[in-house]
Amino acid sequence: MSQEKSKVVALMLNDISTDIIYPGRFMATVLPTETPQYCFADMTELNKRLKNKEIPPNSVIVAGANFGCGSSREQAVSTIKGYEIVIVAKGFARIFLQNSVNLGLNTVVCPTIEASEGDELEILQDKIVNLTSGKTFPVEPLPKARQVIVDAGGLIAYTRKRLLEKVGKK
């Protein structure tokens, strides 16, 4: 998804686990409408800024490699999706990336990204332009198989379409 200028609101290191994104002690809360309150719960400052709506939609978190490693808990995606934050990372863990595609969280794989907090980024289909530093970084495209889910508007819509086809054929 291409979009206009986005501001970098936080930088994160490699191996940000699902326990950092959505701590296990909140796992009994499952509904996407309820999970955002615990987003990065143990990073209290960030959590507070999110809950106070100080971070506008389309703001960007820039992270290192293996973002979302660990659990398959989908709350780790729905909690960020609730604020429409974009995650630009050098790489993502497999299940987190697939969950993002399925739920429509904007995740961008950019292996060479360099940015500082406060930088303005322009995120395009094939590259990210850091408008503050003037540097450009290539973006890895989604595999085609995943793109069909994004194009359908997420996995619920995609599977619903398949279900209707399946029943219609009978």
Using the minimum distance from each CB to other proteins, give the nearer residue, 61 or 105: 105
Using the minimum distance from each CB to other proteins, give the nearer residue, 39 or 121: 39
What does each C-alpha distance from 100 to 4, 41, 107, 120, 157 come to in angstroms?
21, 19, 7, 23, 14
Q: What are phi and psi of 109, to 5 degrees?
A: -90, 115
Positions that interact with other proteins (CB under 8 A): 14-15, 17, 19-20, 23-25, 27-31, 42, 65-66, 69-75, 77, 91, 93-95, 98-99, 102-103, 143-146, 148-149, 154-156, 158-160, 162-164, 166-167
Q: Is 102 helix (H, G, I), strand (E, B) or coil?
A: helix
Using the minimum distance from each CB to other proteins, give the nearer residue, 74 or 119: 74
Task: Return the H-helix or E-strand segment holding 160.
Answer: helix 155-169
Using the minimum distance from each CB to other proteins, give the nearer residue, 83 or 96: 96
Minimum CB–partner distance for residue 119 and other proteins (Å)? 25
Question: In whole angstroms, what is the distance from residue 41 CA to residue 93 CA?
Answer: 20
Minimum CB–partner distance for residue 12 and other proteins (Å)? 12
